[in-house]
Structure 1
Amino acid sequence: MLSKHSIVYFEIERKIDFYYQMQQIEIQYELQLNTEGITTARHQFELGHVHDISHKSFSFGGGILYLHTNQGVFSYKIQDNPTPLMHAFKSLKAENKA
């Protein structure tokens, strides 16, 4: 039985410093999948409200993870392989339909 799967994602925060220079800060968060749903730093989705998870990889490494939900599509910049998370999600969805 699945207890919890997760993947790290990144967001870029832009700030203007004291000298009016743009600073880009990369902040690391965790996307967590459990039996209730998916939780990110800014959102919480019930499992029934997430229709699918897809992934677009980049040739230079990393990629974008997409959550297809009833509220729209949410994208997350990732570096790790999302395949284990995607398989766990599909298994949970199949268990809930049975």
Structure 2
Amino acid sequence: MTDNDKVENPQLVDSHGMVLNNGPDVRPREASDAQLESLKTEIENLRRSVAAIAANAKSFGADKIELAIADVEETLKRNVFMSVGIAALIGYAWGRIK
């Protein structure tokens, strides 16, 4: 089998990566159906994986935001004068813009 044959006629595999029997006794339609079923299964597995990753990323992002907010609140409580100065500066800048 040459390299061109490998590109034009790739081996069909199932969802576990095992090569499907595509010998002379297997009809091309059956092999294609088996490959299609394997691809559908793999897509469903990927969909579940992406959903799990998205759920974890969402909770991770929310945790990071909550931690950052808590840090800012703690810093502002410890430095009351700096808090008042920042508020005054923001108020002044807001007033100048409007």
What TM-score does the superposition give when structure 1 sets the normalisation length?
Answer: 0.24
- The one of the two structures with greater contact order (alpha-carbon pairs below 8 A, sep at least 6) is 1
What TM-score does the superposition give when structure 2 sets the normalisation length?
Answer: 0.24
Q: Which has the higher helix share?
A: 2
